[in-house]
C-alpha cells in the first residue's frame, strides 16, 4: 500500500506543477505607449509614481512626442535604472 501512496503523491505534485507553471509563463506583458499614456497608465511602470508620471505628460506636452523609448530618461526623475526596469514594456508609437 505504501507504493500506491507514493505514486499518488507524485501524481498530485506533477498535477500541481503542470497547472502552476503555464499560468506563470502566460503572464501577458502590458505595453505602455509613452506618447499616448495617461498618468494612471504611466504609473503601471516600475519606479514611476504619480508625480513622475505627471512630469512625463508635461514633458510630452512641452517637447512633443518621444522619438525612441530611451528618450523617457530626459524626464526629471527617470534615469537609466528606471528605464532598464521597464525597457521591455515601453513603446513609442
pTM: 0.70
Mean pLDDT of 63-83: 97
How far apart CA 34 and CA 69 sit, in angstroms, is 8
- CATH number for the region 32-91 comes to 1.10.150.280
Every domain of the chain and the residues it spans:
32-91
Question: 10 pLDDT band (50/70/90 cuts)?
Answer: confident
DSSP code string of the chain: -HHHHHHHHHHHHHHHHHHHHHHHHTPPP--EETTT--HHHHTTSTT--HHHHHHHHHHHHHH---SSGGGGGGSTT--HHHHHHHTTTEE--
Q: Which residue has the higher pLDDT, 1 or 64?
A: 64
Residue-wise pLDDT tens digits, 11-63:
778 877 676 656 555 556 789 999 999 999 999 999 999 999 999 999 999 99
Q: Which residue has the cell 498535477?
A: 15
Amino acid at each position: 500500500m505504501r507504493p500506491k501512496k507514493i505514486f499518488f503523491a507524485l501524481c498530485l505534485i506533477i498535477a500541481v506543477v503542470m497547472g502552476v507553471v503555464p499560468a506563470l509563463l502566460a503572464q501577458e506583458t502590458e505595453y505602455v505607449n509613452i506618447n499616448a499614456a495617461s498618468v494612471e497608465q504611466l504609473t503601471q511602470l516600475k519606479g514611476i509614481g504619480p508625480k513622475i508620471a505627471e512630469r512625463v505628460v508635461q514633458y510630452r506636452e512641452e517637447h512633443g512626442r518621444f522619438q525612441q523609448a530611451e528618450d523617457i530618461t530626459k524626464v526629471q526623475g527617470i534615469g537609466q535604472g528606471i528605464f532598464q526596469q521597464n525597457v521591455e514594456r515601453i513603446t513609442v508609437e
